[in-house]
């Protein structure tokens, strides 16, 4: 948020360490709350609400991955698979045992956390690319397992149909209903992540990322904390998988293939590693970019190409533009959208004076 | 951390840290051979020796980075020879590094708060929820860290990222991070290396204050003989991985083996010292 520190004095440590150290931020947050709860969902077409819903789901997943990659300095190409673990755990609970969402969502997360922690075990010995390959193996193994074990995948085409979530007997049928459902989860995920990274556990994660030897010498049990990072991160991924399953109305492993893992990595790299705001920016960017490109091509593509070809060109152009934009962004601002935002904010901090 | 009564029962002379006959070889390199040192509670002990004498290796074994090939290390009655570094830190042994190992992206404040990691309790759920217990704990420990910041005169730097600080200040922050652990034993690996005279004097002052006011046992590795001889109560001299002398600074200064190790054998007089 835009703010100026000048003239704001903290008299207690508690105030100094608050989530919103500036009085004005409270108003900004309140304004956002009104916008997201009161204005946005009621002023948009149902189709656009469904796109915002996709962003909200992605925010949860990107935050989770950023805890592991951005804050703890580990890497995972298996997050797509962890999402599928959450999705199928929840789908089975919902369909077989008729569980409500407030059991299915945490259960999906918990199962993903368990699997994620197991996958994280090699992280004690291996780092960087080698760990990436180990998690890639996990991605493929989990994909294969779900696809080949009918007891998990429900048999036919490895998909399980899931009814819409219910709240006090009310079925969340429309995209607008789902929007509030997903907004609640995204908000909890954001606040929890902010809290995590500013307290004991989160600091330990960052310490492991910055200097693992020094982290150990001040009493941080590296192995335990790496596994914890994997577990927390996978929990977020599992929840993302459950939310996406509710959104689609079906659990299907094809929705959680390796491309998804890469997409989420792209989100946090573009948004900014080790930043909560960056995760949100990245989730918005990567989710909206293909949709915006498609809408753009549908509207203006015929000016550039033969109208017959446009429909065929869209999927290809989407990939090309997506890749190109990611490269452009990384070259212009390697630290991501979050850095871009901070630069703008810092410029206005003392504006109109130069210092 | 034993109570005063237990301490008295154990006898004031019972060593707080006992390094007995430790050896560590890396392949063919005999880094440390059969070294024994008793460290008394509250003393300021220096370990000196030429480059490659094995000083840092001894420290690394005490803090658990290496486990000795043979020999044992006891903290009080407790055998810590095979414990992991994080466990040894929990038992109250803190250290600094020869080449600074700060968390460079984090602020001075966060570095010191990390130093208090083992003294804090809040777990995953506490941290995720934050408001309530975790917040109270954060505030309490922040107050203690602020005392340290005052002690080390780092007030104006508390929200600076440590990577951007001057070298001497980084060393001071690293000392602060070690102190934040409330250690019983503080291991300092060349805290004054690469400093100018004024910075050295400041650092020596801090080390003495820690030792005298907080009663923390200090084990110091340092190359600056002036500082070592001024502030140490006892000096252990290592050469080629072996202990060649031990005693007060005065005794060590006169020890012929020490002179030989540092200056080499005087021409024509070697036979007298053999």
Write the CATH number for B236.
3.40.50.300
Q: Do the chains contact at B118 and A218, CB–CB below 8 Å?
A: yes
Report the candidate in A86, A154, A88 with the shortest Cα–Cα distance to residue A114: A86
Distance of CA A102 to the CA centre of its chain: 20
Report the candidate in B202, B245, B247 with the shortest Cα–Cα distance to residue B43: B247
Is B207 part of a structural domain of the chain? yes
What confidence score (pLDDT) does residue A302 get?
Answer: 74
Number of domains in chain B: 1
CA pair distance A23, A83, nearest whole angstrom = 38
Q: What is the DSSP letter of A199?
A: S
Q: Which domain holds residue B248?
A: 4-92+183-266
Asked if the ipTM is above 0.85, the reply is yes
Q: Do the chains contact at B106 and A202, CB–CB below 8 Å?
A: no
Is B69 part of a structural domain of the chain? yes
Is B204 part of a structural domain of the chain? yes
Q: Which of B122, B126, B139 sits opposite A13 (nearest CB)?
A: B139
Return the number of CB contacts < 8 Å for A and B: 112
What does the mean pLDDT of chain A come to? 89
What confidence score (pLDDT) does residue B271 get?
Answer: 47
Q: Do the chains contact at B115 and A218, CB–CB below 8 Å?
A: yes
Sign of CA dihedral A338, B164, B106, A222: positive
Residue A96: C-alpha distances to residues A83, A100, A276, B108, B262 (Å)? 20, 11, 36, 53, 79
Note whether B84 contacts A: Cβ–Cβ < 8 A: yes
pLDDT at A121 over 90: yes
CA pair distance B109, B159, nearest whole angstrom = 6
- CA of B132 vs chain A CAs: smallest distance (Å): 12
What confidence score (pLDDT) does residue A6 get?
Answer: 66
Q: Which pair of structure tokens corresponds to residue A228?
A: 């914890």
Structural contact between residues A354 and A294, judged by C-beta atoms closer than 8 angstroms: no
Predicted confidence (pLDDT) per residue in A168-205, tens digit: 888 888 899 999 999 999 999 999 999 999 999 999 99
Q: Do the chains contact at A220 and B117, CB–CB below 8 Å?
A: yes
Note whether B95 contacts A: Cβ–Cβ < 8 A: yes
Phi, psi values for residue B174, rounded to 5°? -65, -40
pLDDT at A107 over 80: yes
Give the residue-averaged pLDDT of A287-299: 85
How much of chain B exceeds pLDDT 90, in percent?
70
For residue B274, what pLDDT band results from cuts at 50, 70 and 90?
very low
Q: Do the chains contact at A218 and B114, CB–CB below 8 Å?
A: yes
Partners of A216 on chain B (C-beta within 8 Å) are 84-86, 89
Beta strand B185-189 with B217-221 is parallel
Structural contact between residues B44 and B220, judged by C-beta atoms closer than 8 angstroms: yes
CA pair distance A296, A294, nearest whole angstrom = 5
What does the mean pLDDT of chain B come to? 89
Which residues does A195 contact at the CB level (< 8 Å), separation at least 6? A19, B127, B128, B129, B130, B131, B134
Q: Which of B89, B113, B134 sits opposite A217 (nearest CB)?
A: B89
Q: What is the DSSP letter of B216?
A: -
Lowest-pLDDT choice from A44-48, A76-80, A156-160, B198-202? A156-160
Which residues does A21 contact at the CB level (< 8 Å), separation at least 6? A8, A10, A15
Note whether B99 contacts A: Cβ–Cβ < 8 A: no
Q: Do the chains contact at B106 and A206, CB–CB below 8 Å?
A: yes
Q: Which pair of structure tokens corresponds to residue B190?
A: 């060349």
Give the residue-averaged pLDDT of A100-122: 95
Note whether A210 contacts B: Cβ–Cβ < 8 A: yes
Predicted confidence (pLDDT) per residue in B123-154, tens digit: 888 888 888 888 899 999 999 999 999 999 99
Burial (0-12, 13-18, 19+ Cβ within 10 Å), A92: buried
What confidence score (pLDDT) does residue A104 get?
Answer: 94
């Amino acid at each position: 948020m835009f703010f100026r520190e000048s003239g704001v004095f903290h008299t207690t440590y508690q105030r100094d360490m608050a989530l919103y150290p500036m009085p004005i931020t409270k108003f900004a947050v309140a304004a956002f709350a009104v916008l997201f709860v009161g204005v946005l969902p009621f002023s948009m077409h149902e189709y656009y609400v469904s796109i915002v819903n996709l962003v909200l789901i992605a925010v949860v997943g990107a935050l989770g991955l950023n805890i592991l990659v951005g804050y703890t300095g580990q890497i995972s190409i298996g997050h797509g698979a962890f999402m599928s673990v959450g999705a199928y755990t929840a789908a089975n609970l919902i369909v077989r045992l008729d569980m409500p969402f407030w059991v299915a969502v945490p259960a999906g997360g918990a199962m993903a956390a368990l699997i994620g922690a197991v996958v994280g075990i090699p992280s004690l010995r291996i780092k960087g690319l080698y760990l990436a390959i180990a998690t890639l193996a996990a991605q493929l193994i989990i994909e294969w397992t779900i696809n080949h074990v009918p007891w998990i995948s429900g048999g036919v085409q490895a998909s399980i149909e899931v009814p819409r979530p219910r709240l006090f007997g009310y079925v969340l049928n429309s995209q607008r209903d789902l929007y509030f459902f997903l907004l609640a989860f995204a908000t909890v995920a954001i606040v929890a992540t902010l809290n995590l990274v500013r307290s004991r556990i989160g600091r330990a994660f960052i310490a492991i990322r910055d200097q693992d030897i020094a982290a150990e010498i001040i009493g941080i049990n590296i192995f335990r904390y790496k596994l914890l990072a994997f577990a927390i991160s996978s929990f977020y991924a599992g929840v993302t998988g459950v939310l996406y399953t509710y959104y689609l109305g079906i659990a299907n492993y094809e929705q959680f293939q390796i491309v998804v893992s890469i997409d989420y990595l792209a989100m946090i790299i573009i948004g900014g590693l080790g930043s909560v705001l960056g995760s949100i920016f990245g989730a918005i960017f990567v989710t909206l970019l293909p949709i915006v490109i498609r809408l753009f091509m549908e509207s203006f593509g015929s000016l550039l190409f033969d109208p017959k070809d446009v429909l065929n060109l869209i999927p290809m152009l989407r990939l090309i533009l997506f890749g190109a934009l990611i490269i452009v962004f990384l070259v212009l601002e390697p630290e991501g959208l979050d850095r871009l935002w901070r630069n703008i904010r810092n410029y206005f901090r003392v504006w109109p004076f130069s210092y | 951390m034993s109570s005063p009564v237990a301490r008295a029962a154990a006898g004031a002379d019972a060593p707080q840290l006992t390094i007995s006959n430790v050896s560590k070889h890396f392949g063919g390199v005999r880094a440390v051979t059969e070294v024994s040192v008793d460290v008394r509670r509250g003393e300021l002990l220096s370990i000196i020796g030429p480059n490659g004498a094995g000083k840092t290796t001894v420290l690394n074994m005490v803090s658990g980075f290496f486990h000795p090939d043979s020999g044992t290390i006891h903290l009080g009655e407790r055998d810590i020879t095979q414990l992991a570094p994080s466990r040894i830190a929990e038992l109250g042994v803190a250290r600094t590094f020869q080449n600074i190992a700060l968390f460079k992206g984090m602020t001075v404040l966060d570095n010191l708060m990390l130093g208090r990691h083992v003294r804090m309790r809040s777990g995953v759920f506490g941290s995720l929820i934050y408001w309530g217990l975790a917040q109270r704990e954060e505030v309490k420990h922040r107050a203690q860290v602020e005392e340290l910041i005052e002690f080390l005169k780092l007030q104006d730097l508390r929200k600076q990222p440590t990577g951007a600080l001057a070298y001497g200040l980084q060393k001071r922050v690293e000392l602060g991070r070690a102190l934040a652990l409330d250690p019983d034993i503080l291991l300092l690996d060349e805290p004054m290396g690469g400093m100018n005279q004024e910075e050295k004097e400041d650092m020596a002052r801090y080390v003495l204050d820690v030792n005298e006011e907080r009663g923390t046992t200090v084990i110091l590795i340092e190359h600056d003989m002036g500082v070592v001889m001024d502030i140490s109560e006892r000096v252990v001299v290592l050469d080629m991985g072996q202990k060649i002398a031990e005693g007060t600074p005065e005794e060590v200064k006169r020890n012929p083996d020490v002179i030989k190790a540092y200056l080499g054998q005087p021409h024509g007089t070697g036979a007298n010292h053999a």
